[in-house]
Structure 1
């Protein structure tokens, strides 16, 4: 499903109205009716005890008027409060305001700072419909609007937000002074960026998409190349395997990882590649550590090299042997536990620039390029980098706080600087390709915040590259599967405390669930 900024959603609305000829009044009717149906399907019992609908200016308030009409028609007790003067409503919102006035709905205009009637109503009713502000809000909330939001949050009632939790930026997910904490956010046609990234995701509650009959053709042709990585997307992307395939069909992945004290990172990367379905996996490692890998990795092979540093990491002197070994391989994972020795860094610089295979660059290999993204730009083959915010901060030489302020913007800048697909890890991982495609992931949970999780992801993405997925798709599918496996573990074992190795072991189950959904149309 496509993922939009506020301005992009406004443009899609414009195309729908002007090019397809669907009146805005019809879109508003579809939106309000859809939200009313959602409320009654989820909260009918609570709605029977009373609904308060709080409307602000513009079309968001108009949507609220439509919701009120449909609930009123079905006999549900309600009160409608407008925080905007009657004469200020225009267009479609004005039409729907006039309708509910003519129908005799209980309607109150609160246009001063005295919100005591609203406060009393909130205390006596069970459902609140938040229709104050939508996606167009760009300034800080103040006055009676801020006070109304504060009262809604204090009420501890079920809150259904119309399109956006009021006060939340649709683009950055940041509260503009204050924002509604919704139980459910019913958004129109497509999810908004600010609903999927943090802190916005904490305000949205459950996100429900309301079909307002925006034509699929308009969305496909006019919408951005930005996607929400959900189950539907994953089912469309993952490729089933023919029964007559063999290990050679699914690529030989080379994993360059491991040094003294960091052998676990290499092992976990290999497990990620194996569990992701690579046909063959070989770990290229320092010879002095080979006995550890030989006794731990049963299914993966090793290629031990004697040219290593004093900290038992590979040296640039091993470069020619590595290049010879790469013949016939399909993808490379580089960096987990690789070591921080200067000779290892020099090896990374040469490998990143000269290996003509798709490559995932992570961890110590990213440290080797800190402040020097040109090493990645020199490559002639696809590169996927998988930094956490601290690593991206060092790579771009910008403060970590700036990275976290707008993660999509930061990933976009990194993709431009490195000419690589960027996987900016963290809650709601974002993926950006240098060709302009973008994605935000919806899977994963706090249990992934443990050592080794990123090493598994590196191997998994390399596995998908080796199986023939192009770089952006491999990165997106790898991130989704990694989080999906963690979500399965969270349900079965608990919200955290499971290990990176268990995540790797659960990847085949995550793949199985997607393929079952794909085959039987349960996506």
Structure 2
């Protein structure tokens, strides 16, 4: 069963329906806190943690914090709570009063000054963040930003309750700063913001505290893509014609590297044959790296030759290094209509093909795979990069609505929309380097040429990310796209 991911409003409505059935809201708060405290107790014993600071805000998330502080103090931990003024919630006040009755040491935070800083002269082994919950959807003012900066400056383990304070639960964007947690215990169900955008950086290791049963009205907005992808075993009688012929088209006279990396990734992913069509000035360099790649000069092909070539391939990967000048535009308008009319083709549109698609928008079939980064997505939707990044999930839905086809919105926690929305949970920041998208495009074309509907787009994105993780075992800085082939060879096997 794939892990499902929800919008914060769905979680809140689910809670209300639970309470309308006469279930106790304070009882649920206590259960959540008890479950988290037990898990923390196990970790604290392993890590020899004894002194703990709990940071509590004014909402029910703070109530979880007070309850956790109470339970941990009963087990003998030295607890200090740093708390703002209480909100109006009865559950919050009950949790606060219980903490006082158990002699938990509570220090009041005055948001208008730094008076709480002198309490931090003592060293804490762990800081528990219960400042804000999933309802936060506004930018924090300077006072709250100062508190979060203070917490982040402290040494010791950082633990977030439900979601790191300052992180938008649905978009994964910071508001504008956020607690940087080592662990997040998210309550009831997974939230999308923990896995995409900046969420992956700030949430740390995510665990779910699931205490009430799902009801029929609760509907996920996405699923986490499975990390383990198993490809079908090859038949002993297979030959190069059995495993797909990939055509890579692009390679402006000034940009030869992109088609080279796509083609090599296609071979590393298991394609039986790969042909590159690009400017002839790149042919010698391509052959010197990969003599098994077949080559055609893009400037010499007439319509009939292109049609004949498309008839003999299983997948085409179009746009890498094509450019955006007059030559590139003429090539796009020569190739794209012929690609559109070819039968039984798996079609990957990447890089400059996406640029020209944005200028000439049309509806696409399900065998089109489009792989924009945020800048390309912004061009396709005629908006800013900031608008894309501020709500990546809405953005991929808009791309799908406008163009149809299947989509990958690349970035931290890459999103894939094939049959439904998936979030990739593997990959690393070292993959943020030129050429990684070309490698992904080559992998998609190759694996679709081999397996067609037997492999999903989100599984290919996961394989690409896992290959990047193999390379990053020796360090993320300096990781380069043309080093991916050996890692791809490992993950597809």
TM range (shorter): 0.7 to 0.9
| Structure 1 residue 372: Cα displacement | 2.1
Q: Secondary structure at the match of 1:467?
A: helix
Once the two structures are TM-superposed, the CA of residue 182 in structure 1 deviates from its matched residue by: 2.7
For residues 348-497 of structure 1, what are the structure 2 equivalents within 5 Å? Answer: 348-356=335-343, 357-374=345-362, 377=363, 379-433=364-418, 437-470=420-453, 474-492=456-474, 494-497=475-478
Post-superposition shift, 1:482?
1.7
How far apart, in 2, do the equivalents of 1:105 and 1:268 lie?
A: 64
Give the aligned CA root-mean-square deviation in angstroms. Answer: 3.4
SS of aligned partner of 1:262: coil
Equivalent residue in structure 1 for 2:224, among 218, 224, 228: 228
Gaps of 5+ in 2: none
SS of equivalent residue, structure 1 residue 463: helix
Q: Separation in 1 of the partners of 2:281 and 2:131?
A: 65
Question: Hey, what's the Cα distance between the residues in 2 that align with 1:163 and 1:184?
Answer: 10
Matched, 1:5 2:7: yes
Structure 1, residues 477-507: CA drift from partner, whole Å, max 9, x if none? 2222222212211213x32323322112211
| Paired position in structure 2 for 1:246 | 238
> Structure 1 476/151 Cα, relative in aligned 2: closer, same or farther at 3 Å?
same
Cα distance in structure 1, aligned partners of 2:194 and 2:238: 42
Is the aligned partner of 1:80 residue 2:81?
Answer: yes
Deviations, residues 204-240 of structure 1 (Å, cap 9, x unaligned): 3x1321332344x659x833241233xxx132x5334
Which structure dedicates a bigger proportion of its chain to helix? 1
1:482–1:507 contact (8 Å) kept in structure 2: yes
Structure 2: distance between partners of 1:293 and 1:150: 50
Task: Name the CA distance, whole Å, in 2 between partners of 1:118 and 1:111.
Answer: 6
Shift of 1:134: 0.7
Distance change >3 Å, CA 409–CA 225, structure 1 → 2:
closer
2:275 is matched with 282
Q: How far 1:293 moved relative to its partner?
A: 4.5
Deviates more, 1:423-432 or 1:143-152: 143-152
Task: State the shift of 1:24 in Å.
Answer: 4.5
Deviation, structure 1 residue 343? 2.4
Find the counterpart in structure 2 of residue 176 from structure 1.
Answer: 175
Instruction: Report the Cα offset of residue 359 of structure 1.
Output: 0.8
Output the TM-score relative to the length of structure 2. Answer: 0.85
Alpha-carbon deviation of 1:109? 6.6
CA distance in structure 2 between the partners assigned to 1:506 and 1:113 by the alignment: 50
- 1:10-29 equivalences under 5 Å are 10-14=12-16, 24-25=25-26, 27-29=28-30
Partner SS state of residue 433, structure 2: coil
Equivalent position of 2:205 in the other structure: 207
2: CA distance, partners of 1:15 / 1:273: 50
Distance across 2 between alignment mates of 1:243 and 1:508: 18
Of 266, 269, 272, the residue aligned with 2:262 is: 269
Contact 1:485/1:507, CA 8 A, preserved across alignment: yes
**Take 1:163 and 1:151, find their aligned partners in 2: how far apart are those partners?**
20
